A and B are shown apart, each in its own frame.
Chain A
Amino acid sequence: MKYTKYLMTLLVGGLLGASTACTDGFESDNRNNAGFDSNLQEYDFQKYLLKFEIIQSGIYFNYNWGSGKNWPFQIAQNLGQDMFSGYFHDFNQTFNDKNSVYALNDGWTSTHWTYNYSYIMPEVQKCEQINAEQPALLAITEILKVELMHRVADCYGPLVYSKFGQEGDNVDDLKTAYKQFFTDLESGISALGNFIKDNPGVEPYKDADLLTPNKTLAEWIKFANSLRLRLAMRVANVDKAMATEQAKKSFELNKFLETPTEVISTSTKSGYTNPLGEINKSWGEVFMGATMESVLNGYNDPRIGKYYEEASGKDIVWKDDNGVDQHLSQRFDYAGTYKGIPQGTGLTTKDNRYQMCSRSTVSQTTNPILMTAAEVWFLRAEAALRGISSENAKDCYEKGVKTSFEQWGVTGADAYLQSNAVPNDYKDPFDENFDMKALITTTPNWNDASGIEEQFEKIMTQKWLAIYPEGNEAWTEQRRTGYPRLFKVKVNKSGGTINTNIMIRRLPFPADLQKSNPTQYNSLKSALGGADNGGTRLWWDTGKNNL
């Protein structure tokens, strides 16, 4: 068998030859050819600015991490904070048995936390690393980080902030987090100041800036300094020393958002769209809250038409089993008026009777507002009232109202500030059981004679009207101060964890943490110092205004 040798040689050679599996090609095989890789990100210095797109889209959350847009905002803010603030309510009655009646839906209340920690904070950290040598960009990252995370902190309480990216116990209690917010703002503000001084006229952030009107670093200083005042007032009831120290820094710098056009809002000129606008204009689910109706109508506030559309109200009609039209008759004709939806009716049928109430005017291209000059005037009014600043509370209050009127393009502020009008009682268009007496009795006009508490109520009520439609901040300030006095829920399905009169105080931590990371959960809970439910007050929420 002389062939055998040949054969074996060939065979072995052949098999080896065929199997000389070059793994050289593997790396190119295993790459995503549709990817935007780091080499391409070098061009035009893109890498320094890229992360800002995501961070800025993640504040008023509308970042698409691969699961679509808008709905994350709906569950993370619109069906929670926006409703609790009294600004909005969904018409959709299939949602009414959840947050609206304090049966907090973990699938919604957990998401403001989860989305920020999964998709935005990691980008902040990457951005800090990429821009470690870029002082201006690093400063802006710090400011954005505070703006992003105080909105989370104010919903849940303790959180992961100062020790983000560290292993082990990385939880901050709320006080620690606030201290760090102030530190980060200070470093951002001073770095920007130095940068402007050293590089006059250089605007390295211009191309990525989605928040300031003129895209200048100077505006970022104003924003950051105003933000410092916001956070200082936030802690005023619980830690007057901290509030005073930080507010004083703000006043020393004396750079604030002051004029009506100085509005910090996310630009919809590039890929970012306003999620509230989509939910409102396309899905038709953003309606006026009952308290808003009561106050704006009662005060005869000209901003009402800028905020909401008139109701198209009429009877709700459906066919019964005999094919006859059945009416859910309106108690009064509310078409053409402004009509809000009360929170906490617990109605769950699909008749969706509130579908013809007043809708929001916000559209997909409206820039969502994060901070206005008017808000800053009201913060200054509060600081004055608290004796932290030397300004006059009344002046600041009236500047706040006027700035807001001007910002919204309405006139009549002077008359409004003289008005003795009070909010209206709420009348439900279909069911008298949902009628409610107005709880607010204060008026727009400033009265030096009225007590400091009532003056504070005026400031807070007007601030609430002025910072529309940012429900996250409005709800936070309402919890801190108790103003405005919102309508209470009719139906409470919190199982006793939330008192109807004290109202909801916070959002619970994501329930999944209890199972998936009990260590972190327990750490958060102990930092909270109370039950992890909607009834526990946060650190700055003292239940009284220590004016």
Chain B
Amino acid sequence: MMGQFYPKSLLFKQILRTMKLSIFLLLFVTFQAYSHTSYSQSAKVSIPHSMLKVSDILAQIESQTDYLFVYNKNNVDVHRTVNINAKSQAVSDILDEVFDGTNISYVMEGKNIVLTKHNEKAPEQDKNIIVKGTVTDKTGDPIIGANVVEKGTTNGIITNMNGEFSLNVSPNATLIITYIGYEKMSVQVNGQKTIKVQMQEEAQTLETVVVTAMGIKKKAASLTYSTQQVEGDELTRAKDPNMINALAGKAAGVQINKSSAGLGGSVKVSIRGSRSAFEGGNNQPLYVIDGVPMLNSSTESTSTVMGGENDGVNRDAGDGISNLNPDDIESMSILKGASAAALYGSQAANGVVLITTKKGKAGLQKVTFSSNLTVDHAISLPEFQNSYGPSGTDSWGEKKALTDYDNVGKFLGNGATAINSLSLQSGNEKMQTYFSYANTTAKGIIDSNKLQKHNITFRETASFFNDRLKLDGSATLMTQKIKNSTASGGLYLNPLVDLYSFPRGMDMSEYANKFEVADPLRNGMPTQNWFTQVSEWTQNPYWIKNRVVNNNRRYRALVSLSTSLKINDWLSLQARGNVDYASDKFDQDMYASTAPNITGSYKGKSNGRYVWSESEQFQIYADVMAMFNKTWDKWSLNGAIGTSLNKTKVNSLMLDSKIASLYKPNLFTVANIVMNSDASVDQTIDQRRTLQSVFGTAQVGFDEALYLDITARNDWSSTLAHTKSMNTGFFYPSVGLSWIASNSLRLPEWISFSKIRGSWAQVGNDLPIGITNLVDIIRAGGVLQTADSYDKGDLKPEISSSIEFGTEWRFFNNRLGIDFTWYQTDTKNQLLKMPTAAGDKYAYRYINAGKIRNKGIELTVDGTPLMNESFRWKTAANFSTNSNKVISLYPDYTSFVYGDPGISMAYLMRIKEGGSLGDIYGNAFVRENGKIKCNEDGSPFVKTGNNDYLGNANPDFLLGWSNTFTYKGFSLYFLIDLRAGGDVMSLTQAILDQAGVTTETAQARDRKYVEFGGTRFDDVASFYKSVGDRNGISEYYMYNATNVRLREVSLGYSFPQSILEKTKVFKGIDISLIARNLFFLYKDAPFDPDATLSVGNALQGVDVFGMPSTRNVGFNIKFTF
């Protein structure tokens, strides 16, 4: 089918054509719609003459209009039958008819129609006063349509667009204020003329509408799979420069690992375990903002245990998601399983995070200013001894009382992060505006590390032609500057290496102040001053801090436009497009006399090293969808069909003098680079990826109790060029079924809701760009580098087939809820880059093979154990397990090394049939007849080669437990987070033990022996010199990764309206004390096992001088005007 319509056309033309066509379609139907005079101001509905249940009528209205009904089932009898006959009648007329003679009233608020119950009696009027008031929610947002009733009467009113009301009552009356989803309030009038009411949310709102794949809204109750909603305030309660960190512990099945890279680093988000055995593969979820996928590539970070690529550039300046302003986020919806994400096809293998951003609201004008300041302090540092002094450069000397100079404490100071943000929301029924500005300024625990970020967002939504045409446009601009981003780990150019291993009892301050000294042989050029010979393994930390400096700059613009057009009662069209542009600049200056292995020399002189890099990423996305929604009797059908186009283009250039050095010392310009074959030029020219898709989804509902969900998508991806699958593309189906038992069975009163669901889906993981078409390249200096891998033209995307079952229950009027999911995902066609054995024609071969299975359960429990007029305790716990197993790999190829093994490191990851992703291998003690084999001098024999299985980095289960206590204006929130099981290795400890600086070695020396595995070693020093260091016996350095921490705490206070009113300025003031990562309740490893050296697939479960995790304590203050 391809090619006939647009033979040989360029993609850009296609986009234009797609856009033209969409616009034409939109204009055409708009015109049609507008010229159709029979439409009146409010939506009209036709229902054939029949006896219908109230619920069916509501469903009919919902299906023919945009309206959704919101009501409390306990108050509205939806099983009552009504005789109805409506021919193109206004909704309000129908509702008047349906609820005539009942105690139900309704109010239309936006797309929602709220049904509430009131008393029938007519209001009495005598000697009354007029009370004016405002009803707001706890954040100060006005509540529109709240019911305000004088107690014991039928005298009442509904609040207006500003949440205001005015009611004629007796001076001693009590006002009862109710609103769906909120706790009932009663307020004594006591002669007051004005009243401010702040309502508290009910334990659980009913009938919530959630955003699902492609931005399609569905009733939460109808979903056939598990999703998790995270409200925007979860991200802003205790802010982190990378907002996704705030998700840690809050969602079942979602594991968050922060990169150990200091300020602005990336985050590894792993949903339901890792699936891809391809080292360079993608294990991160797809991020979608308001229905449109966004760029989320991370910058180069630690790639081996040694350090970064090119032995130098070891930085992590964040990922795409870290660019967003958390204050802009309305909510997030995490599509965990394949079923939820199936509509994203080949981008969906790792789950999807849907982000809904804020927009202006009709009838609301609000200005919010919030300020968040935290102080960051390093925790989980190694433990140092102070009883054995230096011997040479190690600390294996005489025992004596040493002065503790706290060299580490002096180097690592307190960091600080300040995030200030301002947002404006305003709008009327036709147009709504949202504007925000946020500014993040941070200083790292190494004071040269600084971050500055500005975010500006502008969003305008508008509706035309009686709400038939809606336009929604937004623009987000971001600039970020990170100075001196620190190494996220590794041994090269990492100040922590020598900071930690510096001999005990010696004072580093001399080398702090004089980290450089004038070299008379070079006419006073400052050169590195260190207590021992400088090498790649040992450099002055203050030199690294001050003379190995870098600058990361990022500019990003995200512009999107969405239009939707309602064609008739059941059909609407939508077209969306966005452009996402990111530009990164990076440069790094390494001054002359930085370790020669890293910076090289020119004519025998160390002249420094300069790295310059610039990259541009550009993504354009467009989709067109037709959405339909129809109800017949008990049946409902809604769905969409559409097509999308996603195209990315990358240009980049990195110039690095590496060891070719510079012509002139300390002049950091590109022209000064000795551009010979020792230098490095890495250029990407117009690297493109195109993904074209058609997709469709349909949901059939029966009697509001049974739902069948089907989705289908076919993707054509340019990365499949040169394979057999290029023209057919790949098809990704899903099917799911859910049954809301509580809507079809008569269950006991105390069961408020019950549902059972099941689904099956297939999603994919595209190929990386260019691997089907590898070519030779020319490197710096004109030298040839040939392609070292091949495939046989049969590569396919990875396919994950997933099956999940779940059930949801709510009890006691929604005070307790349980959500349980079991899933199993089999990922086939694993893309493997097999290192070939001696004798093969290439170093590597790409194949699709193997099967990796992830299965697990997720359990969420939430409840409101205590609740009365002034006090409330809400609690929620989430629990998840995931077990990963490599079922098969390849007939002749059942084991291979995962990731760059690095050189001479007692750590690697290996994938093996029967094993699992995350298996850690290293050097174990050699045992003969159960005894540890030793050398002649009694030290344990070290066998290198990393052939011994030592553990697995994945946790057995994760548990997050959050609690919120509210008392009057106060609220206390805390989150405890448990990660149980899994193993981690600390090469940091191994290296420090060998240097003799750790408490452990001092205790062993005091004890005069070390005992391990039943063998006693009497020569403590030779023991640690054997097991320690980076290629010793790493079995000794395995730790249980289990840890329990107080992840997040906040204690807040909202000023009462009575005080705010006097200010006449503020609508709300909220202040809170916040803390993240406050302390560990339990931890075995000598570092934070949740921090990760790399957000990629490799290097999991190992620490090599990663930046320590930080405790963040501070406050948050928010003013609403």
* Interface of A toward B, CB cutoff 8 Å: 1, 3-4, 6-7, 10-11, 14-27, 29-38, 41, 50-51, 53-54, 57, 64-66, 68-71, 75, 91-92, 94, 97-98, 103-108, 110-111, 113, 117-119, 121-123, 125-126, 159-160, 163-166, 170, 270-273, 278, 281-284, 318-321, 323, 328, 348-352, 355, 363, 491-496, 510-517, 519-520
Q: Is the interface of B mostly helix, strand, loop or mixed?
A: loop
B715 closest partner in A (C-beta): A21
Q: Is B773 a contact partner of A31 (Cβ separation < 8 A)?
A: yes
Q: Is B392 a contact partner of A19 (Cβ separation < 8 A)?
A: no
- Selected from A25, A272, A348, the residue in CB contact (under 8 A) with B718 is A25
Q: Is B944 a contact partner of A107 (Cβ separation < 8 A)?
A: yes
A109 closest partner in B (C-beta): B944
Q: Is A493 a contact partner of B677 (Cβ separation < 8 A)?
A: no
Q: Is A513 a contact partner of B837 (Cβ separation < 8 A)?
A: yes
* Interface of B toward A, CB cutoff 8 Å: 1-11, 14, 17-18, 21-22, 25, 28-29, 32, 36, 310-311, 389-394, 396, 402-403, 503, 505-507, 510, 531-533, 535-538, 567-568, 571, 573, 596-597, 600-601, 604, 606, 624, 626, 641-643, 645, 658-659, 661, 676-678, 680, 683-690, 692-694, 716-722, 726-727, 729, 769-770, 772-779, 781-786, 788, 835-844, 892-893, 895-897, 901-905, 910, 912, 926, 933-937, 939, 941-947, 994-995, 1025-1026, 1029, 1031
Chain A residues near B901 (CB-CB < 8 A): 107, 512
- Alpha-carbon separation in the docked complex, A397 to B537 (Å): 45
**A20 and B6 in contact, given A107-B1031, A271-B676, A283-B597 (Cβ under 8 angstroms):** yes
Q: Is A21 a contact partner of B839 (Cβ separation < 8 A)?
A: no
- Selected from B3, B532, B781, B785, the residue in CB contact (under 8 A) with A65 is B785
Q: Is B939 a contact partner of A29 (Cβ separation < 8 A)?
A: no
**A514 and B947 in contact, given A34-B685, A123-B786 (Cβ under 8 angstroms):** yes
**A18 and B645 in contact, given A3-B32, A118-B843, A283-B596 (Cβ under 8 angstroms):** yes
- Alpha-carbon separation in the docked complex, A10 to B596 (Å): 68
* 23 residue pairs bridging A and B, Cβ less than 8 Å apart: A19-B693, A19-B694, A25-B9, A31-B721, A33-B684, A33-B686, A35-B775, A36-B784, A68-B311, A106-B944, A107-B902, A118-B844, A122-B842, A166-B839, A282-B661, A321-B403, A349-B396, A492-B936, A495-B941, A512-B897, A514-B945, A515-B895, A517-B893
Chain A residues near B903 (CB-CB < 8 A): 71, 75, 107-108, 111
- Alpha-carbon separation in the docked complex, A113 to B727 (Å): 42
Q: Is A54 a contact partner of B786 (Cβ separation < 8 A)?
A: yes
Closest CB of chain A to B214's CB: distance in Å? 14
Q: Is A493 a contact partner of B942 (Cβ separation < 8 A)?
A: yes
- Selected from B2, B36, B843, the residue in CB contact (under 8 A) with A20 is B2
**A30 and B770 in contact, given A15-B642, A18-B624, A24-B8 (Cβ under 8 angstroms):** yes
Q: Is B4 a contact partner of A20 (Cβ separation < 8 A)?
A: yes
- Alpha-carbon separation in the docked complex, A51 to B937 (Å): 50
**A21 and B838 in contact, given A7-B567, A26-B718 (Cβ under 8 angstroms):** no
Q: Is A320 a contact partner of B770 (Cβ separation < 8 A)?
A: no
Q: Is B389 a contact partner of A350 (Cβ separation < 8 A)?
A: no
Chain B residues near A494 (CB-CB < 8 A): 935
Pick the 9 closest A-B CB pairs, nearest first: A511-B945, A35-B775, A107-B904, A495-B941, A350-B393, A21-B692, A118-B843, A106-B945, A349-B392
Closest CB of chain B to A90's CB: distance in Å? 10
Q: Is A33 a contact partner of B685 (Cβ separation < 8 A)?
A: yes
Chain A residues near B689 (CB-CB < 8 A): 29-30
Closest CB of chain A to B296's CB: distance in Å? 20
Closest CB of chain A to B1048's CB: distance in Å? 41
**A319 and B933 in contact, given A23-B716, A348-B994 (Cβ under 8 angstroms):** no
- Selected from A11, A23, A284, the residue in CB contact (under 8 A) with B25 is A11
Kindly list 12 other residue pairs between chains A and B, CB separation below 8 angstroms, not including A7-B567, A24-B9. Answer: A6-B32, A21-B729, A23-B3, A30-B688, A31-B770, A32-B773, A66-B788, A103-B942, A283-B596, A515-B947, A516-B837, A517-B837
- Alpha-carbon separation in the docked complex, A27 to B716 (Å): 12
Closest CB of chain A to B993's CB: distance in Å? 12
- Alpha-carbon separation in the docked complex, A50 to B776 (Å): 11
Q: Is A271 a contact partner of B782 (Cβ separation < 8 A)?
A: yes
Q: Is A75 a contact partner of B537 (Cβ separation < 8 A)?
A: no
Q: Is B942 a contact partner of A165 (Cβ separation < 8 A)?
A: no
**A122 and B946 in contact, given A25-B718, A32-B773 (Cβ under 8 angstroms):** no
- Alpha-carbon separation in the docked complex, A272 to B11 (Å): 42
Chain B residues near A20 (CB-CB < 8 A): 1-6
Chain A residues near B775 (CB-CB < 8 A): 31-32, 35-38
- Alpha-carbon separation in the docked complex, A111 to B944 (Å): 13
Chain B residues near A283 (CB-CB < 8 A): 535-536, 596-597
Q: Is A516 a contact partner of B896 (Cβ separation < 8 A)?
A: yes
Q: Is B392 a contact partner of A318 (Cβ separation < 8 A)?
A: yes
**A11 and B838 in contact, given A18-B21, A69-B678 (Cβ under 8 angstroms):** no
Chain B residues near A272 (CB-CB < 8 A): 677, 783
- Alpha-carbon separation in the docked complex, A521 to B446 (Å): 48
Chain A residues near B600 (CB-CB < 8 A): 278, 282
**A117 and B838 in contact, given A21-B2, A66-B785 (Cβ under 8 angstroms):** yes
Q: Is B839 a contact partner of A165 (Cβ separation < 8 A)?
A: yes
Q: Is A492 a contact partner of B935 (Cβ separation < 8 A)?
A: yes
- Alpha-carbon separation in the docked complex, A495 to B3 (Å): 68
Q: Is A163 a contact partner of B721 (Cβ separation < 8 A)?
A: no
- Alpha-carbon separation in the docked complex, A70 to B680 (Å): 14
Closest CB of chain A to B1119's CB: distance in Å? 47
- Selected from A94, A104, A163, A493, the residue in CB contact (under 8 A) with B935 is A493
- Selected from A23, A71, A92, A520, the residue in CB contact (under 8 A) with B837 is A520
Q: Is B573 a contact partner of A11 (Cβ separation < 8 A)?
A: yes
Q: Is A26 a contact partner of B897 (Cβ separation < 8 A)?
A: no
A524 closest partner in B (C-beta): B838
Chain B residues near A516 (CB-CB < 8 A): 835, 837, 893, 895-897
Chain A residues near B729 (CB-CB < 8 A): 21, 23
Chain B residues near A515 (CB-CB < 8 A): 895, 910, 912, 947
Chain B residues near A126 (CB-CB < 8 A): 786, 841
Q: Is A318 a contact partner of B786 (Cβ separation < 8 A)?
A: no
Q: Is A24 a contact partner of B694 (Cβ separation < 8 A)?
A: no
Q: Is A32 a contact partner of B944 (Cβ separation < 8 A)?
A: no
Q: Is A17 a contact partner of B21 (Cβ separation < 8 A)?
A: yes
Closest CB of chain A to B1027's CB: distance in Å? 11
- Alpha-carbon separation in the docked complex, A97 to B940 (Å): 13
Q: Is B532 a contact partner of A495 (Cβ separation < 8 A)?
A: no
Q: Is B568 a contact partner of A1 (Cβ separation < 8 A)?
A: yes
Q: Could you say which of A32, A35, A118, A271 has the most chain B C-beta atoms within 10 Å of its C-beta?
A: A32
Chain A residues near B912 (CB-CB < 8 A): 515
Q: Is A75 a contact partner of B596 (Cβ separation < 8 A)?
A: no
B506 closest partner in A (C-beta): A321
Closest CB of chain B to A3's CB: distance in Å? 5
- Alpha-carbon separation in the docked complex, A34 to B402 (Å): 59
- Selected from B18, B905, B1031, the residue in CB contact (under 8 A) with A98 is B1031
- Alpha-carbon separation in the docked complex, A75 to B727 (Å): 47
**A4 and B390 in contact, given A71-B903, A318-B531 (Cβ under 8 angstroms):** no
Q: Is A106 a contact partner of B946 (Cβ separation < 8 A)?
A: yes
- Selected from B1, B677, B936, B1025, the residue in CB contact (under 8 A) with A271 is B677
Q: Is A273 a contact partner of B532 (Cβ separation < 8 A)?
A: no
- Alpha-carbon separation in the docked complex, A94 to B1030 (Å): 10
Q: Is A70 a contact partner of B659 (Cβ separation < 8 A)?
A: yes
- Alpha-carbon separation in the docked complex, A192 to B893 (Å): 41
**A321 and B392 in contact, given A20-B6, A123-B786, A511-B944 (Cβ under 8 angstroms):** no
B573 closest partner in A (C-beta): A11
Closest CB of chain A to B1005's CB: distance in Å? 16
**A118 and B788 in contact, given A19-B643, A22-B8, A350-B532 (Cβ under 8 angstroms):** yes
Q: Is B392 a contact partner of A350 (Cβ separation < 8 A)?
A: yes
Closest CB of chain A to B567's CB: distance in Å? 6
- Alpha-carbon separation in the docked complex, A54 to B786 (Å): 9
- Alpha-carbon separation in the docked complex, A28 to B723 (Å): 13
Q: Is A349 a contact partner of B393 (Cβ separation < 8 A)?
A: yes
Q: Is A29 a contact partner of B690 (Cβ separation < 8 A)?
A: yes
